[in-house]
Amino acid sequence: MSIKLLLTSTSFQDAPGAHQELLNEQGFEIDRMRGPLTDDELRPVIANYDAVICGDDEYTEEILKIGKAGKLKYISKYGVGLDKIDLEAARALEIPVTNCPGVNQVSVAEHVFALILSFVKNIHLEYNITRAGGWKRHVSTEIHGKTMGIVGLGAIGKEVAKRAHGFGLNVVAFDKFVSADFIRENDYIQTVDSMEDLAKQADIITLHVPHTPETEDLINTNLVENHLKKGVILVNTARGKLVDLKALNDGMDREIIGGYLADVLDIEPMPENYPLKDRENVLITPHIGSRTYESVQRQGLFAVKNLLELLGR
């Protein structure tokens, strides 16, 4: 059977490696578009494809119905998060959806500390100063002895916890589904029962939960005004919609929040007039936490193999 495939993950496309080789060996007719694609971009084309390997494209119920009315039979998600795909609609339409859990935790955990250390050591500021020929020296801070609050002890949260311990941070974690075995094996982690309990202790809070209706605006006005420690640094490498932007901006204006370090935004790519773009205590990277050669190959191979399994190959 001839398969027409739409590939939209830019990480998959931009990194050479075994994932590209495996895909090219299959004899598929492959079209490439650079995602994440909006529903408006998918609407006129999705019915033409038997399968997709997608990134964070908007697979709404409408798009899935259009696809199903055409040729669409399979969706292989490159990466872990499935919040942009209407899974209930996909099930109803009998379009199987796969993803790639457990492949990017090392790269994302490393990126968390790259952001934190760049920020507290003023690397991002000093780089621009010396590149312009200057020699202005800011006074930085240490993270040793501070308390890190980890929200979500899944695959990434666990890796962050291990590295936090290595840096001499006290580790506090909140997760409704904590692995008792992991906590027993890593007894330096203190678990708490709520976001509020975590917020009261943490000098740094890092988010590692999926975006769901329950986790949307996890960082909200109530948490900012009544529970966060003054000067806390927030790190978000998970999903932009975990944070209420108004609460975040208000918290930074009032110096409750000392810094916001993000690899994800609620709108990607970042619009020209994005409200966080020009704030000095904000450090934004363009969703590159898992964009390492090692992680891309792992995720890419996983995504292709998932698709081949769906096809019965």
Catalytic residues: 239, 268, 287
Cα distance between residue 89 and residue 313, in whole Å = 26
Contact by Cβ (8 Å): 304, 19: yes
The two three-digit tokens of residue 10, written as one number? 């830019």
Beta bridge partners of 82: none
Cα distance between residue 313 and residue 305, in whole Å = 9
Number of H helices, E strands in the chain: 13, 12
159's enclosing H/E stretch is: helix 155-166
Cα distance between residue 116 and residue 143, in whole Å = 9
Q: What share of the chain is helix, strand, coil (3-state, %, to 5)?
A: 40, 15, 45
Radius of gyration of the chain (CA): 21
Tally of CA atoms within 13 A in the half-sphere of 256 that contains its CB: 19
Q: Is 218 exposed, middle or buried (0-12, 13-18, 19+ CB in 10 A)?
A: buried
Contact by Cβ (8 Å): 75, 99: no
